């Protein structure tokens, strides 16, 4: 219930003769779960790049009049959840810079680990920054690479940046999608009426009726323009290995998306089945924490034979809001998002399935709420191992001092949150559920084994470039 937050969702389409802004809008609509802080679309029309972006959900930022005004041949789109830099219009994406008399726009999902070094180098060359994100550093690197075309500038930038980055970038003439050599964040290529579409997830293709072609490979750059069609090049990095974030499988991506050939709903059901085998318990009902606990709860129910039911109703209209509750409403906290079905759970022994526990505060409130609604027992089952290490690759995660599993044993956590029993899915059980070898994934938040080296001086502070920010290394 104490959910992690992924960085962003990116989208791009090159389709002359089609309403590319509207295509981008619906692509972003399908990727809304990846970020709810801001949304933006950039469109190129006869070499002219126009950007509309603002804070809020996709449906709040755009209307029919705006989309009608955004005509062009290709477009990119972005939805943001901040992991570097504050929530503000200046940090919303796509970001725009001029390059050799042209304009480029860029949207990025992930997090760099050498942002400070690259930013300092650019500042020493007289480059100005108006925002505080690592995305602005990537954009500036591409914009200030004077030699060659857009593809050449992207190749040069990819050779310099380190960390997690799946991105779309466009000029007045071309659309580019690129992915870091480890493939930490997902990126796929599809076809809409024969034209190339780039999306963070296959769900962004499905909403359009676009055909999935393939995943963009780690280190791959794809480019589409009117002169050459679709081309692809690869940037090799010595020592790089596939390292898709395993939390894409557990929670981040939509369950109807497919990654590495696996449907995520089925993979999450498998996590639930493994949980049932690892931690059986006598109970009356299996209850998911909606929405992300649903597939694993279904799997737990099917493997255990314990009936599955909705015991918590989610308010599906709670997203980012600029209207904050007063103190009395804030005390009700979790009830703004979830409400128990007292008639269903009163007197029952519950198996409650969720995807993760981060700090533990929200889980404690959830358990209190269920007992307050009359549950006889609450057996927590978590479809991920204990999170013991922070993420440096694009997850807005607590520092290690704040991660409950980094500081307490499972039994201590059980007592703290007030559950009758608590079991986390083992790392072996999680890996088996994916149907893929561990060498395909980054699992650093569970193991502390980081595939991409993180500089010792790296400050785990999303506000490190904000004026007056106090960040400890």
Pick the closest to residue 14 from 173, 154, 155, 204 (CA basis). 173
Q: What share of the chain is helix, strand, coil (3-state, %, to 5)?
A: 30, 25, 40
Could you give the percent of the chain with pLDDT greater than 70?
89
Catalytic-role residue among 8, 245, 391, 442: 8
pLDDT at residue 169 greater than cutoff 90: yes
Look up 391 and say whether it is catalytic: no
Q: Which helix (H) or strand (E) holds 163?
A: strand 163-170
Pick the closest to residue 315 from 297, 293, 339 (CA basis). 339
Q: What are phi and psi of 419, to 5 degrees?
A: -80, 155
Give me the pLDDT at residue 463, please. 43
| Distance from chain centroid for Cα 153 | 26
β-pairing, 74-80 vs 8-14, is: antiparallel
Per-residue pLDDT, averaged over 172-186, amounts to: 97
Residues of the chain with CATH 3.60.20.10: 8-243
Domain 263-316+333-432 has what CATH class? Answer: alpha beta
Token pair, residue 134, equals: 């690592």
| 8 A C-beta contact, residue 223 and residue 158 | no
Residue 369, C-beta contacts closer than 8 angstroms, at least 6 positions apart: 334, 335, 338, 340
Instruction: Name the DSSP letter for residue 210.
Output: P
The better pLDDT of the pair 402, 177 is held by: 177
Per-residue pLDDT, averaged over 80-89, amounts to: 62
Return d(Cα 283, Cα 377) in angstroms, integer: 8
Return d(Cα 249, Cα 272) in angstroms, integer: 13
The pLDDT-based confidence of 334 (bands split at 50, 70, 90) is confident
pLDDT at residue 469 greater than cutoff 50: no
Q: How much is the mean pLDDT over the chain?
A: 91
Return d(Cα 469, Cα 102) in angstroms, integer: 34
pLDDT at residue 470 greater than cutoff 80: no
Token pair, residue 340, equals: 């128990």
pLDDT digits (tens, 9 = 90+) for 35-51: 999 999 999 999 999 99
User: What residue has token string 């198996």?
Assistant: 351
Give me the pLDDT at residue 5, please. 53
pLDDT digits (tens, 9 = 90+) for 132-168: 789 999 999 999 987 789 999 999 999 999 999 999 9
Return d(Cα 279, Cα 297) in angstroms, integer: 13
The pLDDT-based confidence of 88 (bands split at 50, 70, 90) is low
pLDDT digits (tens, 9 = 90+) for 193-234: 999 999 999 999 999 999 999 999 999 999 999 999 999 999
Instruction: Name the DSSP letter for residue 197.
Output: E
Strands (E), 61-151: 74-80, 95-99, 102-112
CB atoms within 10 A of CB 205: 25
**C-alpha distances in Å from residue 46, one per residue of 68, 74, 94, 172:** 16, 10, 19, 7
Strands (E), 171-219: 174-179, 188-192, 195-199, 211-215
Superfamily of domain 8-243: Aminohydrolase, N-terminal nucleophile (Ntn) domain (3.60.20.10)
Per-residue pLDDT, averaged over 60-66, amounts to: 96
Give me the pLDDT at residue 82, please. 62
Residue 343, C-beta contacts closer than 8 angstroms, at least 6 positions apart: none
pLDDT at residue 351 greater than cutoff 60: yes
pLDDT at residue 331 greater than cutoff 90: no
pLDDT at residue 1 greater than cutoff 60: no
Give me the pLDDT at residue 147, please. 79
Residues of the chain with CATH 3.40.50.2020: 263-316+333-432
Token pair, residue 247, equals: 């939390």
pLDDT at residue 419 greater than cutoff 60: yes
Token pair, residue 462, equals: 């999303």
Q: What are phi and psi of 69, to 5 degrees?
A: -75, -15
Strands (E), 260-322: 262-263, 285-288, 312-314
Return d(Cα 473, Cα 457) in angstroms, integer: 6
């Amino acid at each position: 219930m104490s959910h992690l937050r992924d960085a962003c969702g990116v989208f791009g389409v090159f389709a002359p003769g089609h309403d590319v802004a509207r295509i981008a809008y619906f692509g972003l609509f399908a990727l809304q779960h990846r970020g709810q802080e801001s949304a933006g679309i950039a469109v190129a029309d006869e070499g002219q790049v126009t950007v509309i972006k603002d804070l809020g959900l996709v449906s709040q930022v755009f209307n029919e009049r705006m989309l009608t005004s955004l005509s062009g041949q290709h477009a990119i789109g972005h939805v943001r959840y901040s992991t570097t830099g504050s929530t503000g219009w200046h940090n919303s994406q796509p970001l725009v810079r001029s390059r050799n008399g042209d304009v480029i726009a860029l949207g990025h999902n992930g997090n760099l680990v050498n942002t400070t070094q690259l930013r300092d180098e650019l500042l020493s060359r007289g480059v100005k920054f108006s925002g505080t994100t690592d995305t602005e550093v990537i954009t500036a690197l591409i914009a200030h690479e004077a030699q060659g075309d857009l593809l050449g500038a992207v190749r040069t930038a990819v050779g310099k940046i380190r960390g997690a980055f799946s991105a779309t970038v466009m000029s007045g003439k071309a659309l580019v999608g690129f992915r870091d050599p480890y493939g930490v964040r997902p990126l796929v290529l599809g076809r809409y009426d024969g034209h190339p579409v780039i999306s963070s997830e296959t769900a962004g293709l499905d909403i359009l009726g676009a055909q999935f072609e393939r995943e963009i490979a780690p280190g791959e750059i794809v480019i589409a323009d009117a002169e050459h069609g679709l081309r692809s090049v690869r940037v090799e990095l010595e020592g790089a290995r596939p390292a898709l974030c395993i939390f894409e499988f557990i929670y981040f991506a939509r369950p109807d998306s497919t990654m590495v050939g696996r449907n995520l709903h089925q993979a999450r059901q498998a996590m639930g089945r493994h949980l049932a085998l690892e931690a059986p318990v006598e109970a009356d009902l299996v209850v998911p924490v909606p929405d992300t606990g649903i597939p694993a709860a279904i799997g737990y129910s099917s493997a255990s034979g314990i009936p599955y039911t909705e015991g918590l109703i989610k308010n599906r209209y709670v997203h980012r809001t600029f209207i904050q509750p007063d103190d009395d409403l804030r005390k009700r906290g979790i009830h703004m998002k979830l409400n128990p079905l007292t008639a269903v759970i009163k007197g029952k022994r519950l198996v409650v399935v969720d995807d993760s526990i981060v700090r533990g505060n929200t889980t404690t409130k959830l358990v209190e709420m269920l007992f307050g609604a009359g549950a006889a027992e609450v057996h927590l089952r978590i479809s991920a191992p204990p999170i013991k290490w922070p993420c440096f690759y694009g997850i807005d995660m607590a520092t290690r001092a704040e991660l409950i599993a980094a500081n307490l044993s499972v039994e201590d956590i059980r007592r703290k949150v007030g559950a009758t029993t608590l079991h986390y899915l083992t790392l072996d059980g999680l890996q088996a559920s994916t149907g893929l070898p561990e060498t395909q994934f980054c699992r650093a938040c569970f193991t502390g084994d980081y595939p991409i080296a993180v500089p010792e001086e790296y400050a785990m502070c999303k506000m490190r470039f904000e004026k007056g920010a106090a960040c400890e290394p």
